[in-house]
Chain A
Amino acid sequence: MAEQVIVCNELTKRFGDFYAVNKITFEVTKGEIFGFLGANGAGKTTAMRILCGLSYPTSGTATVAGFDVYRQQDQIKRNIGYMSQKFSLYENLTIVENIEFYGGVYGLSRAVIKERSGELIQTLGLEKEAKKLVGSLPLGWKQKLAFSVAIFHRPQIVFLDEPTGGVDPVTRRQFWDMIYEAAASGITVFVTTHYMDEAEYCNRVTIMVDGKIEALDAPQALKQRFQAANMEEVFYQLARSAKRSSD
């Protein structure tokens, strides 16, 4: 049986009488690209924060990379990578400095950091820019670099929160090439997006509506079940009925 790197069982987060996340149950397999979709306010961010070890659930159980979300938050943080559209890198540090900083935060040795950062800069074709401030890079490059930094310590799982928002169509696809490569190397990818064509690139997709998981399957299977031509239509059918619209 395939190894499960995320296991959630009836995971719930309640704020007062508001159920931000309401008994969600799912498993994510090693090396899978797992799309985590939902309308604004459906509870995606809250669920992601719990899985990243940043917030405690109210009830239910979950393990991430084999660690418990209640008792082993530190171990979870060491074994995952995270990148979002908003915060990614330090604009006032150079590319090399950012890589060294993140490598250091994750406790890699100087020798390992040096070796891997050389490789990384070469792979990204950024040799000429290595000593430039990250702030001067185009957005697409920043996002590609941020992703590489997020998996620099070779985490078991990487969480990507709308990584391609606002990125041009060519770079957006190059970014997905990097996601495919990471997944092929055994890193599990947990990704949110508002681009429904990107939902098609995932092995499996969940769609959250009002704190609950309303659908969980491969894109092809979801399209068949909802008799939809594409994932946008599937999403629309499910999310249209949402009552909540908070972020």
Chain B
Amino acid sequence: MNRVELQAMAETERNRQKAFQCRFLCCVGTPCLSAGGGVVQEALKQAIAVQGLDATVEVVGAGCMGPCSRGPLVRVLPAGGEEAIYEHMTPEKAGALVEAFAGPGCSSFPEESRISSDSPFFGKQVKIVLSGSGRVDPDRLESCVAEGAYTALAHALREMTPEEVCQEVVRSGLRGRGGAGYPTGVKWNLMRKAQGERKIVVANGDEGDPGAYMDRTLMESDPHRVLEGMALAAYAVGADQGYVYVRGEYPLAAQRIQRAIQAAERQGLLGNRILESRFNFRVDVRMGAGAFVCGEETALMASIMGRRGQPVPRPPYPAQRGLWGLPTLINNVETFGNIAPIIQHGGEWYAGYGTEKSRGTKVFALAGKVSWTGLIEVPLGITLREIVFDIGGGIPGGRSFKAAQTGGPSGGCIPAAHLDTPMDYESLQELGSIMGSGGLIVMDDRSCMPDVAKFFMEFCMDESCGKCAPCRGGTVQMVRLLQRITDGGAAPEDLEQLKELCLLLKETSLCGLGQTAPNPVLSTLRHFREEYDAHIREGRCPAGVCDLSGNSME
């Protein structure tokens, strides 16, 4: 396939879609499917078949639409008219919906279960990475191409040198979306200059933070967006092999990516002589086996090579010596999701969003005690208050906001006093948290902070690979100390010991897991010290969560 044929494919598909009087897009992401989305899709298809509307109405799968807790979601696109999203769909409601849209020229939307299009949940969002999610059918290449997939790649291969692609990414100010926030353009330039017989590009989809599912959604909803980003990266740095590392718990994402690779290869959009250029790029999927630490880049590479997934000391960095000794570029799946729009619209356009040092948009998985949970994409620099109270719709049940945890087990909490903090890499770090990969868990006044710290510490203890002594032994001891605090059996010196262990892990651990594992403890100690004191000195839990009678001790 060449550039002209790609445009023709897009045109054909757009015309095909326009021919329908009405299109039903059913979310086929994991949250909606687990809420019964598959049955709803079948019911829609059946209702249409019964009414003999196959020629005028289409039912297709589409990716994530955002408010995941309201699934199964169905987007209705009548020809020429406005669109609507319906929540909590059931097979019964599906039949009624078909009835309503069956007649010719119908444009009156039934109000039942309809999500208002001016809902504040959508108002403050800017969809760049997720622009295709919920609109394209992830299992059909044509559908993705109709929305512009691979046009940025076609443009870059024809009009841009690899240096120019790197420069465009530098100009965009994009920073790594995996959590550390290293400037992507700088990384690509280093990688482009690295010497190696061959080079490799890896997409890190080993998303392990509790409650975070940005990468999964992108891989499930718009796999070609990720693959195109990887191909652009490979062109920019001179790589000819790519791996998408998908965590073992994401079978659907792996399947979608795998199918997308096959479809793209068949059409000459991946593989050899891509778009009839001299650029070759092959992509393979590698599945993890359930270890959180494999999100760390050196452990991830060990896992791809079939070894035990545990980190090795850096340097050498992957760009110097990575997979099988070859220079390797590792970026997060979401980072790759930003590349095609940047090349298509230019780095300056992208840099127009966000703040001075944190450009662009970020996808967050909004979870916990808010009315609207789900997946959101917002410009960086938006305040936490806007996310929680405007997009999230506030705390349900008349409760009050207590804190939000960003960055999962490597991050920290942000208390109510800092609700107006802009969400950018530096501001979050100043508060003792991190941007992280995008998990955002909102807690109300019924959460006990030492208990929350214990939860994350237990997670780190379970996920420590066991290689280095401070992380292996230290996390266990920290869990024991936190257990004692939440059981009411702690002495004041236990808190000192806890703080000392925090510093030990932070400063001596081998990899990021151990170095950041104390963050939840440090940040709750910083913002909610009085809760620790209440547990230890007064024997009470202010939030009423912990049983301090000591009965829960083993």
Q: Judge: A and B partners, yes or no.
A: no
